[in-house]
Amino acid sequence: MKTLEGIFNPIEKDIEQLNDRLMNQISPDSHSLCSILQNIFAAGGKRLRPALSFLMFRALAETRNAIYPEAEAKLFLIAEIAELIHTASLVHDDIIDNSLVRRGAPTTNSKWSNAITVISGDFMFARAAVNLARIDINKVVEIFASVLENLCSGEIRQVEQKYNADISFDYYYLKTYNKTASLFEACTFALTELFPLTDTEKRAIANYGKFIGMAFQIIDDILDFTSDEESLGKPAGADIREGQINLPLLFAFETLKQINPDKCAYMKERIQQIPSEKDNLKIQKTIDDSIRIIEETAGIERSYEKAIEYVKEAVKGLSFLPESKYKNSLVELADFVIKRSN
Ligand code: FPP
Ligand code: MG
């Protein structure tokens, strides 16, 4: 498997320029927001979402002329919007989840008050809105404004349904689209306003982002069970502890319900009781038992199959693109999303 660095090689300069722009959101003499934002962006991140925009744009530009003479400038604004929205949503999410560490570094809410942290997130959303206005294409505004709606409804669903072990697969896929895949989709969909394309081509481009996003989140769910604290920054099964019923567990319940309905109902009940359970050992036992059931019912394997289905669909849609190093990277990225370990 190629490293992310290798996959991003054709757009190395683009990512560098993006990082400079992210680090210079506001002038240093303005106020403490400047150092807070620099702190956030210096903490790193894979820059996966902007990379999708850069690679797809450059793959399209190989054989097509952009509609606007300033399409490059619009591309950078799109890439910046994607990373601003993503980062702002994580900054807010860390307050909601009361998380003190992200990507191995202290979160904003662990260093500043919740009030300051909320405002910093709001500032990034506001900056994204300014950039959207500067792109000056109504459809692109609609695409990213819809992402904000989706993020909020995905997050509300997640908060409301915490510890509800009876959620359906449909519910899971909708929440996953709202919370994760809709932003990935926007990163490629927005570009379709910059080139002359047929409706089928536009859908394939949007779907590439969407399906990569779905697979990305499913792999995140899998890693929560298979990874250790060192590589992921949190212990295995942390999602269950936090009340997130994710795909491997849903598959496990589906199978267990058929072979042992009583055990399935009992397991769901134990998960539902986690928030009122004071005894940490009992909680850990519930998590360990859930992981064992997932192993016994091939919950991880079935989730992998689902993620692989998504990336295969994503890559299939790229067939209309001419061969190029950018297209190769888009294909390799699909492989990376499946095989990544953190
Ligand atoms: C991480 O989920 C969180 C998100 C992907 C989205 C969070 C969205 C919001 C807080 C709403 C955004 C607000 C506005 C105003 C648009 P996770 O907790 O499952 O993942 P983690 O383990 O990385 O924290
Ligand atoms: Mg979180």
Shortest-distance atom of ligand 1 to CA 148: 16
Q: What tens digit of pLDDT does each residue of 73-82 get?
A: 999 999 999 9
Quote the pLDDT of residue 94.
94
CB of 155 sitting under 6 A from ligand 1: yes
pLDDT for res 292: 95
> In the chain, which stretches have pLDDT less than 70?
27-30, 229-233
Rounded Cα distance, 83 and 104, in Å: 19
User: Using CA positions, which residue lies closest to atom 23 of ligand 1?
Assistant: 90
Specify the pLDDT at position 30.
65
Q: What is the mean pLDDT of the chain?
A: 94
Instruction: Count Cβ atoms below 10 Å from residue 342 Cβ, excluding itself.
Output: 12
The predicted structure's pLDDT at residue 2: 87
311 touches 338 (CB < 8 A)? yes
SS (H, E, C) 92-121: HHHHHCCCCEECCEECHHHHCCHHHHHHHH
Dist. CA 140 → ligand 1 center (Å): 22
Phi-psi region of 167 (alpha: psi -120 to 50; beta: other; left: phi over 0): beta
Atom of ligand 1 nearest to the CA of 93: 10
Q: How far apart are CA 164 and CA 238, in angstroms?
A: 15
> How far apart are the CA of 93 and the centre of ligand 1, in A?
4
CB-CB neighbours of 69 under 10 Å: 8
Residue-wise pLDDT for 228-279, tens only, equals: 766 666 778 889 999 999 999 999 999 999 999 999 999 999 999 999 999 9
Give residues whose Cβ lies within 5 Å of ion ligand 2.
93, 97
Q: Which ligand is nearest to the CA of 103?
A: 1
Neighbours of 328 (CB within 10 A): 15
**Tell me, what's the pLDDT at 131?**
96
With a 6 Å cutoff on the Cβ, whether 180 touches ligand 1 is yes
DSSP3 helix / strand / coil % (the chain, rounded to 5): 75, 0, 20
pLDDT at res. 105:
85
**What is the 92 CA–ligand 1 centroid distance (Å)?**
7
Record the pTM. Answer: 0.95
Q: What are phi and psi of 102, to 5 degrees?
A: -140, 140
Ligand lying closest to the C-alpha of residue 220: 1
Is 93's C-beta closer than 6 angstroms to any atom of ligand 1? yes
Domain hosting 305: range is 4-339
Is the CB of residue 151 below 6 angstroms from any atom belonging to ligand 1?
Answer: yes
Give residue for tokens 């894979």.
46
Whose Cα sits closest to atom 11 in ligand 1? 152
CA of 184 to the centre of ligand 2 (A): 18
Rounded to the nearest angstrom, the distance between the alpha carbon of 326 and the centre of ligand 2 is: 32
CATH of the domain at 93: 1.10.600.10
Total of domains in the chain: 1
287-291: long-range pairs with CB below 8 Å, 24+: 287/237, 287/240, 287/241, 288/237, 290/237, 290/240, 290/249, 290/252, 291/225, 291/236, 291/237
Question: What is the distance between the alpha carbons of residues 115 and 112, in angstroms, rounded to a whole number?
Answer: 8
What single DSSP character describes residue 227? S
The SS3 of residue 198 is coil
- Which residues lie closer than 8 Å to 269 by C-beta, 6 or more apart? 165
